[in-house]
Structure 1
Amino acid sequence: MIRQCSKCRVPLQQSVRAYSVVPPPRDAEEKEMLHRILRVDHAGEYGANRIYAGQMAVLGRSRTGPMIQEMWDQEKKHLKKFSEILAENRVRPTALLPLWNVAGFVLGASTALLGKEGAMACTVAVEESIAEHYNSQIRVLMERDPERFTELLLLIKEFRDDEMEHHDTGLEHDAESVPGYWLLKNAIQLGCKAAIYVSQRV
């Protein structure tokens, strides 16, 4: 049975192997690399979910609510998939999930208090950071062994494309019109980079 990736139209063979996405690591170095990738991606999707939860707490009943909910629903699917992959590969999530739980919600709610434009500015900043991080992971996996990591590459590319759709949606809905947009964006992205760094390691 053959199915296709909805984004890139690349045929995917229905796997009969013991793993669904991530092949068993060949050595300790590869194991550490894969665990870092999975741990930080799970943390990023978890944080994104909490950000959208915070936005919905403030703007859920506004005209912007359905659009935020649609993006949040996609993030929920991303998080569910990475949670499954972590369990399948016995990778522990970052120990900082309780912190990202609170920080993500506060970031989402506080920027939403600036109005739709503030929420969209936050979305642009966060989704751009996540997409850039996914791109860096794609480069690493392509350099290492693209055929061996085909399923993981397809998954990361699909999620990266979803994040860029959210980024573009934010721009289309007046993200750049919020007062202090560039300052806000840079501050959020600095926080994202720090979160990525520590989530890989802790």
Structure 2
Amino acid sequence: KFSNQSVGLIYSRCHSVIPPPRDNDEKEMLDRMLRVDHAGEYGANRIYAGQMAILRRSQTGPLIQEMWNQEKKHLERFNEILAENRVRPTALLPLWNIAGFVLGASTALLGKEGAMACTVAVEESITEHYNSQIRTLMEKDPERYTEFLQVIKEFRDDEMEHHDTGLEHDAESIPGYWLLKTAIQLGCKVAISVSQRI
């Protein structure tokens, strides 16, 4: 006899938020989505780690830690979803590991405003990316992807909150804000594009 708890555990291990793909095209689409979502959350974690390495003891430290804790939960969830669906992560994780940390640390060296400008740029890119995925899934079959859509929407809302937090904490006051933001977002676009494929 199984207890309710163990039945729930077995169910959650067998049950994924992703429906079994109907054909190769759907499998490829979902694999690409999961791979890039996982890479994005992994990169965001490394950026916050870099920021915390510099600003841990500053007044902004607790705020960055709070946002990082949410990103850790996102990454954990995508680790689970990748495993449940036997999707390999991008081969570029070692690169995103270093690049994310360097981006987080170098912008944090510009002070709180630099770190917040980086947060605004990255989180805006991730929000736009999630919105694009939501549109794609809604157009294809919203009922079929209900659970996956719930996960993406929840994470998208968290990212938008981080974006707004960055603006509230003087992101735009750093000299060269628009230049910095544009450069970071260009990097994010490239990272998203290659992480889907490799």
- Give me the TM-score of the superposition, normalised by structure 1: 0.91
> Which one of the candidate residues 167, 172, 175 is aligned to 1:176?
172
Q: What displacement does 1:94 show?
A: 0.1
Structure-1 residue corresponding to 2:115:
119
Distance in 1, Cα, partners of 2:164 & 2:13: 37
Structure-1 residue corresponding to 2:57:
61
Would the alpha carbon gap of residues 112 and 28 (structure 1) be closer, same or farther in structure 2, given more than 3 Å must change?
same
Task: State the one-letter code of the partner of 2:145.
Answer: F
Q: Which consecutive unaligned segments of at least 5 residues does structure 2 have?
A: 1-10
Q: What are the within-5 Å matches in structure 2 for residues 133-144 of structure 1?
A: 133-144=129-140
Give the structure with the larger helix fraction: 2
> Which one of the candidate residues 24, 38, 50 is aligned to 1:28?
24
Q: What displacement does 1:26 show?
A: 0.2
Measured against aligned partners, the alpha-carbon deviations of 1:51-89 in whole angstroms (never above 9, x if no partner) come to 000000000000000000000000000000000000010
Q: What are the within-5 Å matches in structure 2 for residues 35-46 of structure 1?
A: 35-46=31-42
Q: State whether structure 2 residue 184 is matched by structure 1 residue 188.
A: yes
Distance in 2, Cα, partners of 1:98 & 1:178: 30
Task: State the one-letter code of the partner of 2:194.
Answer: V
- State the superposition RMSD in angstroms: 1.2
Measured against aligned partners, the alpha-carbon deviations of 1:2-45 in whole angstroms (never above 9, x if no partner) come to xxxxxxxxxxxxx8894230010000000000000000000000
Structure-2 residue corresponding to 1:167:
163
Give yes or no for contact 2:13–2:84 (8 Å, CA) kept in 1: no
Structure-2 residue corresponding to 1:80:
76
Ranges of 4+ aligned residues in structure 1 off by more than 2 Å:
15-20
Q: What displacement does 1:113 show?
A: 0.2
Distance in 1, Cα, partners of 2:68 & 2:94: 19
Q: State whether structure 2 residue 154 is matched by structure 1 residue 158.
A: yes
Measured against aligned partners, the alpha-carbon deviations of 1:149-189 in whole angstroms (never above 9, x if no partner) come to 00000000000000000000000000000010000000000
Measured against aligned partners, the alpha-carbon deviations of 1:82-126 in whole angstroms (never above 9, x if no partner) come to 000000100000000000000000000000000000000000000
Task: State the one-letter code of the partner of 1:83.
Answer: N
Give yes or no for contact 2:127–2:159 (8 Å, CA) kept in 1: yes
Task: State the one-letter code of the partner of 1:74.
Answer: Q
Structure-1 residue corresponding to 2:99:
103
- Give me the TM-score of the superposition, normalised by structure 2: 0.93
Would the alpha carbon gap of residues 17 and 142 (structure 1) be closer, same or farther in structure 2, given more than 3 Å must change?
farther
Distance in 2, Cα, partners of 1:95 & 1:118: 29
Would the alpha carbon gap of residues 22 and 109 (structure 1) be closer, same or farther in structure 2, given more than 3 Å must change?
same
